[in-house]
Amino acid sequence: MAIPPGVSNRDWQTALQQFVQAVGESGVFTSDEDIGLYRDAYSPLWEEPEERLASAAIAPTTTEQVSEVVRVANRFRIPIFPIATGRNLGYGGSAPNLSGSVVVDLKRMNRVIEVDDRRHFAIVEPGVSYFDLYRHIQDRGLKVWIDCPDPGWGSPLGNALDHGVGYTFGAYRDHFHSHCGLEAVLPNGDVIRTGMGALPGAKTWAEYRYGFGPTVDGLFAQGNVGIVTKMGFHLLPAPEAYQTSVVTVPRRNDIVPLIGLVNELEHAGLIGQPGYGSPLAARRADLEELLKRPGGPPAEDLDRFAQEQKLGSWTCRLQFYGAPAVIAAHIAYAKDRFTRDIPGATFEDGELLRFPLTQEQLDSVRKVAVGIPNLAAFGGRRGSDGHLWFAPVIPKTGEAVLEAQRVFMDVFARRGGPALISPFSMPATWMYRAFVFLMGFPISRSDVTVNQRTRETMREIIKVAAEHGWGEYRAAPAFQDDVMAAYSYNNSALLRLHETIKDAIDPNGIMAAGRSGIWPRHLRGRRA
């Protein structure tokens, strides 16, 4: 067992005893075997000296216990790092930013406090997974949907606190945005409630976000000023039906009106999450010569190939939610608009699904699109030990997508090795008002050269993105300093404000030191 940095052996032993008093023997993990389970399974630093490792883990079951644990840590200046369900794979797993931190593992705080299907909200503790919340709702026949990310074993609370994203309708997909009210333990052990929750006996904690006065909730997401112990979320009323329609457009340059129109439908609330693709992506082998052209393949040549092969250039899966009559009207309207604006657009409608689904429909539906948590996203990655996400935010336009393709393909061309981006790559569309040009870089638990290469590419591509005005929405701890460094407007004025806030709320710098590149005063010099 490692000792946290800057803590004497005597203080450490006393603190461990006090942790045991706070949460009981069964809530304190100190053996190498147990602590090893807090390693990031997809760490880009696996087995290297810089790998971020915990010194111990504490698993409280109540807010009072969390508060007591934090008081002990603050007394002895022990760095702590909270996790909810700790499944942040690709963005850091359950490991801390600062090696030697004590992980505060909230998995055992797993109560669903409330789900209301008339006012459409839920209040949950950190350890409640999407699977748990879904089951709670199903068991009681409640008429609400959750919006889940790909991995169902994560938590509404943990996911939202890393600005996580999902797959159904509108702004529900932005999980921090759809939160409403939270309870948190501050570094001095104080418990606060935000929004209406600050009013004792409040009746609308999970309904009205702001309460009165400035809002501080944002400080707790990707931040390090406290441990969140409860969180409210707005939920989507369960729709009656769901249907998809895939629109295909013939020419490469149709990407501009395609995205423009989809934006309009989406921002007006007519469709849920759009899903872009290109039928040409599967035909890259046939296009090898064209793709090798300096400056990229000419659009006319790609169009000719697409036409000969009777393929479109781009597709978008439109998703419609609501009453069948409303869906039919929205589909008709969408088709009318596409047909008018993009000559040659074609459509393929999916089956109209009415809820509840039959078993057969359940087996074939894209589960995340209808709010059913699952783990299917871990499929199709055989031979891989995991991956590291690179997640730059780019504008929601066709021009931006084509530019991002070119810029990122250049990075791969310069660095050699396999390119993760082709002229057919499309961005992820979880965010309501922006795209994420997501890439998953390989990591390995047996070959450090894979990880070294991935790290070099990450550092370079973060810089290149910033030069084009694109920043990452999220990153693994090993790259959070790099990402924050890109957000440098006015001599890093925002980071300086974060540091001022950090020092004021957490003078001993115990809480999640280094998260998002925000270090406490005594560690600031060591910023990577």
Partner 1 sequence: MNRVFRVVIACVMLSASAAYAQSDATRQKGNEVFQYWCATCHGRGAGMPGTIALTAKYKGALPGALEDRTDLTPQAVRFVVRNGAAIMPFFRKTEVSDADLDAITEYLVRRSPQPGERANTGR
Catalytic residues: 91, 473-474
Within 363-382, which residues bind partner 1 (CB under 8 A)?
363, 367, 374-382
Angle at 524 between CA 520 and CA 528, to 5 degrees: 120
The interface partner of residue 392, options being ligand FAD, partner 1, ligand HEC, none and the CB cut-off 5 to 8 Å by kind, is none
- The closest of 388, 419, 393, 395 to 406, measured between CA atoms, is 419
The count of C-alpha atoms lying within 13 angstroms of the C-alpha of 32, restricted to the half-sphere facing its C-beta, is 2
Q: How far is the CB of 217 from ligand FAD (least distance, A)?
A: 12
Residue 525: how many CB atoms within 10 A of its CB? 7
Q: Which stretch binds ligand FAD (CB under 6 A): 90-98, 252-260, 308-316, 498-506?
A: 90-98
x/- track of binding to ligand FAD for residues 195-214 (CB under 6 A):
--------------------
Does 391 engage in binding with ligand FAD (CB under 6 A)? no
The interface partner of residue 159, options being ligand HEC, partner 1, ligand FAD, none and the CB cut-off 5 to 8 Å by kind, is ligand FAD
Q: Look up residue 328 and give its amino acid.
A: A
Within 398-457, which residues bind partner 1 (CB under 8 A)?
445
Quick one: which H or E segment has residue 163?
Answer: none
* Tokens of residue 303, six digits: 């169009």
The interface partner of residue 413, options being ligand HEC, partner 1, ligand FAD, none and the CB cut-off 5 to 8 Å by kind, is none
Q: What are residue 214's phi and psi, to 5 degrees?
A: -65, 150
Give the residue with the Cβ less far from partner 1, 166 or 223: 166
Residues 6+ apart with CB under 8 A from 491: none
Does 90 engage in binding with ligand FAD (CB under 6 A)? yes
Does 93 engage in binding with partner 1 (CB under 8 A)? yes
Does 88 engage in binding with ligand FAD (CB under 6 A)? yes
Does 376 engage in binding with ligand HEC (CB under 6 A)? no
How far is residue 185's CA from residue 470's CA, in Å, rounded to a whole number? 34
Give the residue with the Cβ less far from partner 1, 9 or 359: 359
In the chain, % helix, strand, coil (3-state, to 5) comes to 40, 15, 45
Size of the site for ligand FAD (CB under 6 A): 31
Sheet holding 121-124: strands in order across? Answer: 112-116, 121-124, 227-234, 179-185, 191-193
Residues 6+ apart with CB under 8 A from 299: 251, 252, 253
Quick one: residue 229, left, alpha or beta (phi over 0 = left, psi -120 to 50 = alpha)?
Answer: alpha
Q: How far is the CB of 96 from partner 1 (least distance, A)?
A: 14
Does 33 engage in binding with partner 1 (CB under 8 A)? yes
Does 105 engage in binding with partner 1 (CB under 8 A)? yes
Does 146 engage in binding with ligand FAD (CB under 6 A)? no
Does 382 engage in binding with ligand HEC (CB under 6 A)? yes
x/- track of binding to partner 1 for residues 160-179 (CB under 8 A):
--------------------
Q: Which of 41, 419, 450, 464 binds partner 1 (CB under 8 A)?
A: 41
The interface partner of residue 59, options being ligand FAD, partner 1, ligand HEC, none and the CB cut-off 5 to 8 Å by kind, is partner 1
Give the residue with the Cβ less far from ligand FAD, 381 or 526: 381
How far is residue 154's CA from residue 88's CA, in Å, rounded to a whole number? 8
Q: Look up residue 223 and give its amino acid.
A: G
3-state secondary structure of 396: coil
Q: Could you give the C-alpha distances from 343 to 249, 335, 340, 381, in angstroms and in order?
A: 8, 12, 7, 38
- What is the Cα 227 distance to its own chain's centre? 18
Q: What is the 8-class DSSP label of residue 165?
A: B
Largest CA distance in the chain: 76
Give the residue with the Cβ less far from ligand FAD, 150 or 506: 150
Give the residue with the Cβ less far from partner 1, 215 or 364: 364
Does 375 engage in binding with ligand HEC (CB under 6 A)? yes
Does 92 engage in binding with ligand FAD (CB under 6 A)? yes
Name the residues that contact ligand HEC, by CB under 6 A: 375, 378, 382
Binding site for ligand FAD (CB under 6 A): 82-92, 106, 126, 149-151, 154-155, 158-159, 161-162, 164-165, 220, 227-228, 377-378, 512, 515
